[in-house]
Amino acid sequence: MSDLVTIKLPDIGDISTVEVIEVLVAEGDVVAVEDSLITVESDKASMEIPSPVAGTISRLLIKVGSEVGEGADLMVVEATTEAVAAEPTTNAASDGQTDTNNSSAPASAPDNVESKSTDQSSDAHAPGHAHTNASVVDQSAIDNADFSADLVVLGAGPGGYTAAFRAADLGLSVVLIERYPDLGGVCLNVGCIPSKALLHTGQIINEAADLADHGVVFNKPEIDIDKLRSFKEKVITQLTSGLKGLAKQRKVTVVHGHGVFASANTVSVTDDNKNTQTIGFKQAIIAAGSQSVKIPGLPYDDERLMDSTGALALADIPKRLLVIGGGIIGLEMGCVYDALGTAVTVVELSDGLMPGADRDLVRPLEKRLKKRFESIFLSSKVTAIDATDAGLKVTFEGGSAPSSDTFDRVLLSVGRTPNGLNIEAGKAGVKVSERGFISVDGQQRTNVPHIFAIGDIVGQPMLAHKATHEGKTAAEVAAGMKSWFDAKTIPSVAYTDPEVAWMGLTETDAKTQGIAYEKGVFPWAASGRSLANGRNEGVTKVLYDAETGRLLGAGITGTNAGELIAEAVLALEMGADIQDIALTVHPHPTLSETLNFACEVAEGTVTDLYAPKKAPKH
């Protein structure tokens, strides 16, 4: 039996009218229960309205731009009686539990469904939680706090401080909570920035040595470890001081200590002296980041076993260093210590360095590192580490690794895990996965509408530049703006020597997902600028759609690849095709023109290489 069901706008709280900003279905479309039908927006929030019935869209009664209020007719759906979802009745049992066995009880139609059939005996589940900026606010909890603000940001890394500053610029009163003495989080204090300071030093050392092939010979460098450490700390201090000043200029209140949720509208912060204060908020942004993964059973009480933070502390220059994990962080730190004179060994569980990157991009790096590092053991793992007077004795298994060896220091770099389980988010009603991740929508909202989450804690890739853009989105939405995070790609960069960078679709993913593509590859052995720099191992490649020529992805290995990848990111965001890039005049001689050349290879117009002829496109 069919019913013509008129779907109405459900109760949307204290909002009188909303604007239809998207119609997600068309007449004739088949929809299931809970499929999104339209997106509406007020001055406070946006939300999708789901279908309370399953069936076929018979007639649309609204369009983009329509102003509608509660009970307004949205569309007519031809639905069968069986397709109208039954809502379980809730009978309070004596123990306070819901009786889910009373399936025979008749149900009434939901408020936003009007059926023309008098035979209807089942109903639809009412639309779920509406995303409003002000969900239920526990004003008494806020009033009882030590102090309060419009917005609390938990974590002052790149994403957190960006969110706090943007929200303050938009007129919100903001409290920024940070567990460390300085703003900037892991990235600025013990991650991205100090590692780049040391990598720059290492690069200069290597370039000076390489000049011997050009007839310019320098003496072996004398490394003052204390002065080098001071340089790194000076860079950090300059940036953290700048952030402190920016917070003050914006009147952002900074609170130092470990913050955890006490309720859906309060956070409890405990400082190093065990003093605790409660901060109330109307909205919150979780930017609590991640921490290094630890392998159980290793001697973490021995300072010779380091994580990335310990490696960046630069306590000394060990004679021999083992890096456990051949990913980006491990290889970057390996490059630093190699340049400083340490004999570096890398052990990686998978069959190649930097898992996740295309093999042709990693190959030039791996070839160079095999010459510089003491050893690289692939398809191998560490099964035990024993602390001895002579060093850390490491037991290996698999691959070409020896049964055991002894190292002065060991760097454990096998990934990072989110801090979602360390902030008592459950007390605020925020759902956290077993691994510590928090799910969010396109506006960075969690399942609790007035609490947002950004950065490492919401999932891969765990990168600062992703977090900053997510932070801006969350802050703008909290301030009532119509913002979404919808980046087409997040670029990845390994600041090794040579650097490796990629964005968009990788060949590995394309093959796994069965996505058709073609590619153009330009070797840097044909780049005049790269050869003039004394380097020939680089490569630039582009992936594109064979039918449309639209850019799908790109990868670059070579000097300053991390700087060069930005052009490809912009091209992808703008929907460029390979001809757009090939016809863009790049300065010569530069490394940036290798992207231009790769696109010329793709379309068969390159003259800096001899490539098979391709029919010209008109």
DSSP-assigned letter for residue 436: S
In a domain? residue 399:
yes
Q: What does the pLDDT look like over 581-599, one tens digit per residue?
A: 999 999 999 999 999 999 9
- Final residue of a domain: which of 366, 392, 412? 412
Q: What does the pLDDT look like over 306-316, one tens digit per residue?
A: 999 999 999 99
The confidence score (pLDDT) of residue 570 equals 98
For residues 25 and 109, the model is more confident at 25
Residues in CB range of 554: below 8 A, 6 or more apart: 502, 503, 504, 540, 541, 542, 543, 565, 568, 571, 572, 595, 598
The confidence score (pLDDT) of residue 196 equals 95
User: How far apart (Å, rounded) are the C-alpha atoms in residues 151 and 9?
Assistant: 30
CATH code where residue 174 lies: 3.50.50.60
Q: What does the pLDDT look like over 195-217, one tens digit per residue?
A: 999 999 999 999 999 999 999 99
The confidence score (pLDDT) of residue 133 equals 45
Mean pLDDT value of segment 180-194: 93
Nearest to 541 by CA among 582, 586, 601: 601
pLDDT at 104 over 70: no
pLDDT at 401 over 60: yes
Q: Model confidence at 13, in pLDDT bands (50, 70, 90)?
A: low
Q: What does the pLDDT look like over 328-377, one tens digit per residue?
A: 999 999 999 999 999 999 999 999 999 989 999 999 999 999 999 999 99
Strands (DSSP E) found in 293-388: 305-306, 320-324, 343-347, 375-377, 381-388
In a domain? residue 614:
no
In a domain? residue 395:
yes
Please, how many CA atoms are within 13 Å of residue 159, restricted to the half-sphere of its CB?
A: 28
Question: Do 362 and 267 share a domain, yes or no?
Answer: no
Question: Do 201 and 218 share a domain, yes or no?
Answer: yes
- Final residue of a domain: which of 412, 433, 463? 412
Percent of the chain with pLDDT over 70: 88
The confidence score (pLDDT) of residue 370 equals 96
Question: Do 288 and 433 share a domain, yes or no?
Answer: yes
User: How far apart (Å, rounded) are the C-alpha atoms in residues 452 and 514?
Assistant: 35
Percent of the chain with pLDDT over 90: 76
Q: What does the pLDDT look like over 415-429, one tens digit per residue?
A: 999 999 999 999 999
- Final residue of a domain: which of 412, 439, 457? 412
* Secondary structure of 266-320 in HEC code, one letter for each residue: EEEEECCCCCEEEEEEEEEEECCCEEECCCCCCCCCCCCEECHHHHHHCCCCCCE
User: How far apart (Å, rounded) are the C-alpha atoms in residues 576 and 570?
Assistant: 9
In a domain? residue 50:
yes
Q: Is 588 a catalytic residue?
A: yes
Q: Model confidence at 615, in pLDDT bands (50, 70, 90)?
A: low
In a domain? residue 612:
no
The confidence score (pLDDT) of residue 501 equals 98
In a domain? residue 99:
no
CATH code where residue 50 lies: 2.40.50.100
Mean pLDDT value of segment 87-99: 35
Q: What does the pLDDT look like over 505-546, one tens digit per residue?
A: 999 999 999 999 999 999 999 999 999 999 999 999 999 999
Q: What does the pLDDT look like over 548-583, one tens digit per residue?
A: 999 999 999 999 999 999 999 999 999 999 999 999
Question: Do 511 and 449 share a domain, yes or no?
Answer: no
Question: Do 382 and 467 share a domain, yes or no?
Answer: no
Q: Model confidence at 109, in pLDDT bands (50, 70, 90)?
A: very low
The confidence score (pLDDT) of residue 18 equals 87
pLDDT at 498 over 90: yes
Mean pLDDT across the chain, nearest whole number?
Answer: 89
The confidence score (pLDDT) of residue 136 equals 65
User: How far apart (Å, rounded) are the C-alpha atoms in residues 183 and 255?
Assistant: 10
Which tokens go with 600?
């010329």
Count of domains observed in the chain: 4
Cβ distance 456 to 435 under 8 Å? no
User: How far apart (Å, rounded) are the C-alpha atoms in residues 209 and 213?
Assistant: 8
Question: Do 254 and 155 share a domain, yes or no?
Answer: yes
Q: Model confidence at 278, in pLDDT bands (50, 70, 90)?
A: very high
Question: Do 280 and 365 share a domain, yes or no?
Answer: no
User: How far apart (Å, rounded) are the C-alpha atoms in residues 527 and 515?
Assistant: 30
The confidence score (pLDDT) of residue 247 equals 95
For residues 238 and 101, the model is more confident at 238
Q: Model confidence at 474, in pLDDT bands (50, 70, 90)?
A: very high
Q: Reduce the DSSP state of residue 159 to 3 states and report it.
A: helix
The confidence score (pLDDT) of residue 107 equals 39
CATH code where residue 521 lies: 3.30.390.30
Q: Model confidence at 41, in pLDDT bands (50, 70, 90)?
A: confident
Q: Reduce the DSSP state of residue 121 to 3 states and report it.
A: coil
Question: Do 174 and 278 share a domain, yes or no?
Answer: yes
Q: What does the pLDDT look like over 243-276, one tens digit per residue?
A: 999 999 999 999 999 999 999 999 999 999 999 9
Question: Do 162 and 111 share a domain, yes or no?
Answer: no
User: How far apart (Å, rounded) are the C-alpha atoms in residues 566 and 549?
Assistant: 20
Cβ distance 165 to 153 under 8 Å? no
- Please give the model's pTM, rounded to 2 decimal places: 0.77
Question: Do 406 and 441 share a domain, yes or no?
Answer: no
The confidence score (pLDDT) of residue 618 equals 47
pLDDT at 123 over 70: no
Largest Cα–Cα separation, the chain: 95
Burial (Cβ within 10 Å: 0-12, 13-18, ≥19) of residue 296:
exposed
Catalytic residue among 129, 258, 586, 588: 588
Question: Do 247 and 186 share a domain, yes or no?
Answer: yes
The single residue listed with the structure tokens 């069959």 is 351
In a domain? residue 511:
yes
In a domain? residue 491:
no
Question: Do 62 and 210 share a domain, yes or no?
Answer: no
Q: Which of 41-45, 121-125, 323-327, 352-356 has the lowest mean pLDDT?
A: 121-125
Question: Where in the sequence is the domain holding 508, given as residue range(s)?
Answer: 498-603
The confidence score (pLDDT) of residue 99 equals 36
